[in-house]
Amino acid sequence: MGDNARRADVLSGPGRSSRAGLVPKTRRAREGNERTPGSATAPGDLMRLFVAIAPPAAVLDELDAWVEPFRARRLDLRWTNRAAWHVTLAFLGQVNETTTAELLPRLEHAAQRHQQVGLAFAGAGAFPAARRANVLWSGLSGDCEALAALAESVAAGASCAGASPPDRGRSFQPHLTLARCRMAADVTGLVAALSAYQGQLWTADRLHLVRSRLGATESPRYVSLASWPLRTPPVTPG
């Protein structure tokens, strides 16, 4: 997948890593854009979709090493699979194939409007609150304003295509989900410990439309249906 081969395992082709998600190889639909070779989805079937960016594998490896000692201390949490880590820009919910076809050019346009974004994983938090958490997450630092603008463009494009995000209008909180709680849990200590983390700087350079396949007993499997490059910043004369 060109430079996407350096992105997170969740959006890599099969066989790249023992931790990789089940993601088919893609072919280029237009220069710089990538799409899956085909789909077994019938026109009336629904797909659970979201739009995301995929951090580089080395960045996720660093975060994974930081988080690892905490997993054994909290076996009551459902820690997410490293191979599935990503940063969601918009969750779209159940979308049929006809709407997905309308969605593709809207997302391509959103990617063309925005430059690559410099980010780093930093800090931690929980939804809805650390004392009664359902989700434990790692936060981001860097150009989060630009990331929020990209997320808004994605949400606007999805809405125009008929796939409005169910939570549109809610404040955008960029994060990577580290763990989920079977029942509301107090993760105050974890948030305090993980908040000391400051990862290396990385560049979000591509937008992905991802399908989530939910299993009854296993973690979700993510498939990148299409991706588009963000604009490269202009070179400033020295």
Amino acid at 72: A
- At 16, is the secondary structure helix, strand, or coil? coil
Q: For residue 182, what are its two tokens?
A: 């079977």
Q: For residue 38, what are its two tokens?
A: 């085909």
Is position 144 within any domain?
Answer: yes
How does pLDDT run across 91-111, given as a tens digit for each residue? 999 999 999 999 999 999 999
Is 175 noted as a catalytic residue in this protein? yes
Is position 108 within any domain?
Answer: yes
Q: What is the pLDDT of residue 233?
A: 86
Is position 234 within any domain?
Answer: no
Q: For residue 44, what are its two tokens?
A: 């009336």
Phi-psi region of 80 (alpha: psi -120 to 50; beta: other; left: phi over 0): beta
**pLDDT at residue 82 above 90?**
yes
Confidence category of residue 41, pLDDT binned at 50, 70, 90: low
Q: What is the pLDDT of residue 35?
A: 64
**pLDDT at residue 19 above 70?**
no
Q: Which residues have a Cβ under 8 Å from the Cβ of 218 and sit 6 or more positions away?
A: none
Confidence category of residue 80, pLDDT binned at 50, 70, 90: very high
What percent of the chain stands above pLDDT 90?
72
DSSP H/E element including 203:
strand 202-204
Q: For residue 25, what are its two tokens?
A: 């190889």
Number of structural domains found in the chain: 1
Q: For residue 183, what are its two tokens?
A: 């029942």
Confidence category of residue 235, pLDDT binned at 50, 70, 90: confident
Q: What is the pLDDT of residue 218?
A: 63
CA 132 – CA 77 distance, rounded (Å): 13
Confidence category of residue 9, pLDDT binned at 50, 70, 90: very low
| CATH number of the CATH domain containing 126 | 3.90.1140.10
Q: At what angle do helices 144-160 and 97-113 cross, to 10 degrees?
A: 150
Is position 89 within any domain?
Answer: yes
- Give the active site residue among 109, 114, 175, 208: 175
Q: What is the pLDDT of residue 234?
A: 84
Is position 205 within any domain?
Answer: yes
How does pLDDT run across 129-187, given as a tens digit for each residue? 999 999 999 999 999 999 999 999 999 999 999 999 998 888 999 999 999 998 999 99
Q: Which domain holds residue 10?
A: 2-229
Is 208 noted as a catalytic residue in this protein? no
**pLDDT at residue 36 above 80?**
no
Is position 236 within any domain?
Answer: no
Is position 237 within any domain?
Answer: no
Q: Which residues have a Cβ under 8 Å from the Cβ of 49 and sit 6 or more positions away?
A: 92, 93, 95, 100, 103, 163, 209, 210, 211, 212, 225
**pLDDT at residue 199 above 70?**
yes
Is position 147 within any domain?
Answer: yes
- Give the active site residue among 86, 109, 114, 208: 86
Q: What is the pLDDT of residue 24?
A: 41
Q: What is the mean pLDDT of residues 179-203?
A: 97
